[in-house]
Amino acid sequence: MALDPGFWRRKRLEEMTSEEWEALCDGCGLCCLHKLEDIDTGEIVYTGIVCRHYDQARARCTCYAERHEKVPDCLVLTPERVARLHWLPETCAYRLLHEGRPLPSWHPLRSGRRDSVAEAGVAVAGKVVSEADVHPQDWAQAWLTAREADEADNRDGKDAAP
Ligand code: SF4
Ligand code: SF4
């Protein structure tokens, strides 16, 4: 069934149908990255290592229907959990709507195209490595390498600014 245009502007998260709820996910893959938690501060940082079931070429989970059997700690998002999960990315549609903010113009529900997520630089595809290709003992190093690359990108971006 076709989605009601603009439903996300009129409905609260808990009022959405399952079809509407699923359509909010832009497939960015940020929540599929492994995360590290600072045990002193509780700060969560994203590593550059993505779940082995995330298909970077298609920007989606390859086992969505049975993801909990394959990855027991893969969370089912619900409105209640969205309210509690402080680590959800700033760009995540569930977090944005929960915080009363609009969906960005690159969101597929607004752009009409899934490619707009990657074009906006939000998708992880092409920027991360699969956990299948990194030994767990090397995760910390892979994260540091990704973080250094990010910081270098940010510096270059600032240097290039007028
Ligand atoms: S961070 Fe949000 S929008 Fe991105 S893949 Fe996860 S649930 Fe979907
Ligand atoms: S099982 Fe699928 S939805 Fe869950 S973390 Fe892995 S790729 Fe993401």
Q: Which residues contact 53 (CB under 8 A, 6 or more apart)?
A: 32, 61, 62, 63, 67, 70, 71
Decide whether any atom of ligand 2 lies within 6 Å of the 28 Cβ. no
DSSP per-residue letters across 23-76: HH-----GGGEEEEE-TTT--EEEEEEE-TTEETTTTEETTGGGHHHH-TTPPP
| 110: in domain | yes
Please check the confidence at residue 56 and state whether its pLDDT lies above 60: yes
Please check the confidence at residue 134 and state whether its pLDDT lies above 90: no
Per-residue confidence at 4, pLDDT binned at 50, 70, 90? very high
The confidence score (pLDDT) of residue 153 equals: 66
**DSSP conformation class of 11:** S
Each residue's pLDDT tens digit, 88-106: 999 999 999 999 999 999 9
Distance (angstroms) between ligand 2 centre and the Cα of 30 equals 10
Decide whether any atom of ligand 1 lies within 6 Å of the 61 Cβ. no
Of ligand 1's listed atoms, the one at least distance from the Cα of 77 is 7
| 81: in domain | yes
What would the mean pLDDT of 42-58 be, rounded to a whole number? 90
Query: What percent of the chain is predicted at pLDDT more than 70?
Result: 91
Decide whether any atom of ligand 2 lies within 6 Å of the 51 Cβ. yes
| 162: in domain | no
What would the mean pLDDT of 35-64 be, rounded to a whole number? 90
The confidence score (pLDDT) of residue 125 equals: 93
Number of domains observed in the structure of the chain: 1
Residue nearest to atom 6 of ligand 1 (CA): 31
Domain range for 100 is 10-157
pTM: 0.86
Of ligand 1's listed atoms, the one at least distance from the Cα of 122 is 4
| 1: in domain | no
| 4: in domain | no
Decide whether any atom of ligand 2 lies within 6 Å of the 30 Cβ. no
